[in-house]
Amino acid sequence: MQSNNFTAKQLRPWCLLLTGALGLASGCAGGSSGLAARGQSDDIIQLVADTKYDTGNVQGPTERHLQERSWQKRREEIKADPNSSMAADLDRFENAVAMLDAGKYNEAEKEFKSLAEARRDTYESFNVRWRRWWGLGDVEQFDPYSSFGDPIEEDALFMLGETQFAMQRYASAQDSYDDLLKRYPSTRHLDQVTRQLFRIARYWLEFPEDVGAQGDAEVKVASAESKPQELSTYRRIAVLPNLTDRSRPTFDTYGRGLLALRSIWLHDATGPLADDALMLSANHNLRTGNYVEAARLYKLLREQYPDSQHFKDAFIIGSHVTLASYQGPAYDSQSLEEARELKVAALQLFPDLDPEQRQRLQEEVTKLQRAEEARLWDIVEFYQVKGVPEGVTLHCNLIMNRYPDSPYAEQARQVLIQQRAEREQGSSGSRWNPLARSSTSSPVETGEPVAPATPKPEPKSNQPLAMPAESPARTSEESPERVSPWKRFGNLLRRAEEPPKLQSPPSESQPSSTDAGRASL
């Protein structure tokens, strides 16, 4: 018995290893094989297997904070070791920070820019940059997603943007911040960078609060602001240069402001200012009359940030903007339907609406219903002009079934009664349409007996039939009947009025004209 127990203890770990190996072989470990077993498409499997789209090394707020603590500890170690290769560059960085604190902005800007370039040369040669520029080398030689780069270069790029921000050269500061986010997507300074970009965008888009005057905690809700001042007509034109104000970009101030907001919610999608940036972008497009883009941004805010403080405003304002993007009954009705759905959803989701807002939303829902009725009636008139009675009947019944109490329902009934009367009388309608089908029914449809076709009577004239070349000239009494050009070209699929006249082939005894010519030669 003692021997058997010892044998069981020895076999137990081998059984566990065998079970784990079978699980890995069957695809239980996930990955591309697991996706294939779950019936995913080949595109999704290829996307998951591609290492370029791996987000495992993208840092969140906690990881960025830990990275900052780790760098502070390493920084003290570098200072304690004068022989370190980074000690000299770290001293240059601290001297540049001292220049910035002393107000020597130009000297500090040059020092931060020179330091960033020097640190970049330590890991990236000119040959690597040249091959990457032309797409000839491996772009993963320095991948910021898999390697967190150089901390001194990261700090130098951030302080370069801060120096330019302090000099009120906001366009240059935006370029420096974008360069930092491009090289270090999970930078330790991400919160401060997004805050600065948000201030720059508010200033350029002419929303209240002067740039740099207040912090993140005092940023107002974008949708709760007072009505902004009238937008500058000069700044609306992107190609007109700005040669006097150094705090604004040379071209396209509004476009650069929207680009700064876009950089916020792309690089820090879960950050505290991501929903604010989307709301501010949507409000600016609403002010400038770009209703289609504003509706798209409000929709993105509703879908991506349901816990945002702007969620209610995104529903209410988004429904108004979506309705404003509707161009009339002759166009697509998607925006009309979306606006009606948003207003109905707002009435159901937000019971705390004040009576005035609720009454206005209910009136707008009724207005949208009338617009949908007008759109369907416009389709009825379209098919009437085209002469397609089937389409007229279909949409008339659609109006009567969906909106039986509308004024268009009574008009639809009158149209159906008129169609029934025309079918009974066999008339083709009051207006002539060359492309319309004939409304007269065939004898087969009416059930009448088909009379046998009578033979065509022979011509009473004794004049012998002549060949086309010998046909006599027409007299004035025999002038052909003039055909209207509308009848000739209007109906392209009409039946020919008479069969074509074909020339009979020459007999064997009578040579053709070409043969006679050849014989004379």
Residue 265 buriedness (CB in 10 A; 0-12 / 13-18 / 19+):
buried
In a domain, 386, yes or no: yes
Q: Pull the structure tokens for residue 516.
A: 């006679």
According to DSSP, residue 91 is labeled H
How many Cβ atoms are within 10 Å of 276's Cβ, its own excluded? 28
Compute the C-alpha angle 149/151/156, nearest 5°. 115
Q: What is the count of structural domains for the chain?
A: 1
Average pLDDT over residues 105-127: 86
**Whether pLDDT at 168 is above 50:** yes
Most confident of 39-43, 388-392, 422-426: 388-392
**Whether pLDDT at 519 is above 80:** no
How many Cβ atoms are within 10 Å of 339's Cβ, its own excluded? 25
In a domain, 378, yes or no: yes
Alpha-carbon distance of 315 to 401, in angstroms, equals 30
For CA atoms 295, 301, 304, 306, give the dihedral sign.
negative
Alpha-carbon distance of 250 to 241, in angstroms, equals 5
Residue showing tokens 């910035």: 100
Q: Hey, which bits of 253-317 come out as E strands?
A: none
Q: Given this model, what pLDDT does residue 61 score?
A: 80
In a domain, 460, yes or no: no
Reported residue count of the chain is: 521
| 232: enclosing H helix or E strand | none
Compute the C-alpha angle 239/245/248, nearest 5°. 60
Q: Given this model, what pLDDT does residue 211 score?
A: 39
In a domain, 389, yes or no: yes
Q: Are 280 and 261 in contact (CB under 8 A)?
A: yes
Alpha-carbon distance of 219 to 225, in angstroms, equals 11
Listed range (86-95, 314-323, 353-362, 511-520) with the worst mean pLDDT: 511-520
Angle between helices 105-121 and 151-166 (to 10 degrees): 160
Distances (CA, A) of 433 to 378, 437, 486, 490: 19, 9, 10, 9
Alpha-carbon distance of 92 to 84, in angstroms, equals 14
Maximum Cα interatomic distance, the chain, rounded to a whole number of Å: 134
Compute the C-alpha angle 397/401/405, nearest 5°. 115
For residue 331, what pLDDT band results from cuts at 50, 70 and 90?
Answer: confident
Average pLDDT over residues 124-151: 62
Alpha-carbon distance of 248 to 198, in angstroms, equals 15
Rg (CA), the chain: 40
Q: Could you tell me which of 37, 42, 44 has the C-alpha nearest to residue 23? A: 37
In a domain, 12, yes or no: no
**Whether pLDDT at 454 is above 80:** no
In a domain, 451, yes or no: no
Residue 396 sits in which domain range?
373-430
**Whether pLDDT at 30 is above 70:** no
pTM of the model: 0.64
Alpha-carbon distance of 116 to 156, in angstroms, equals 6
Q: Could you tell me which of 222, 206, 344 has the C-alpha nearest to residue 282? A: 222
**Whether pLDDT at 400 is above 50:** yes
Alpha-carbon distance of 290 to 305, in angstroms, equals 22
Listed range (49-53, 196-200, 389-393) with the worst mean pLDDT: 49-53
Task: For residue 497, give every residue at least 6 positions away whose Cβ sits within 8 Å of its Cβ, in sequence order, or none.
Answer: none
In a domain, 441, yes or no: no
Listed range (50-54, 215-219, 354-358, 391-395) with the worst mean pLDDT: 215-219
Alpha-carbon distance of 44 to 232, in angstroms, equals 47
Task: For residue 166, give every residue at least 6 positions away whose Cβ sits within 8 Å of its Cβ, in sequence order, or none.
Answer: 100, 105
Q: Are 367 and 319 in contact (CB under 8 A)?
A: no
In a domain, 292, yes or no: no
Q: Given this model, what pLDDT does residue 10 score?
A: 56
Distances (CA, A) of 332 to 136, 329, 336, 366: 47, 8, 8, 19
Compute the C-alpha angle 197/201/205, nearest 5°. 175
Q: Pull the structure tokens for residue 368.
A: 């949208």
Alpha-carbon distance of 514 to 518, in angstroms, equals 6
For residue 277, what pLDDT band results from cuts at 50, 70 and 90?
Answer: very high
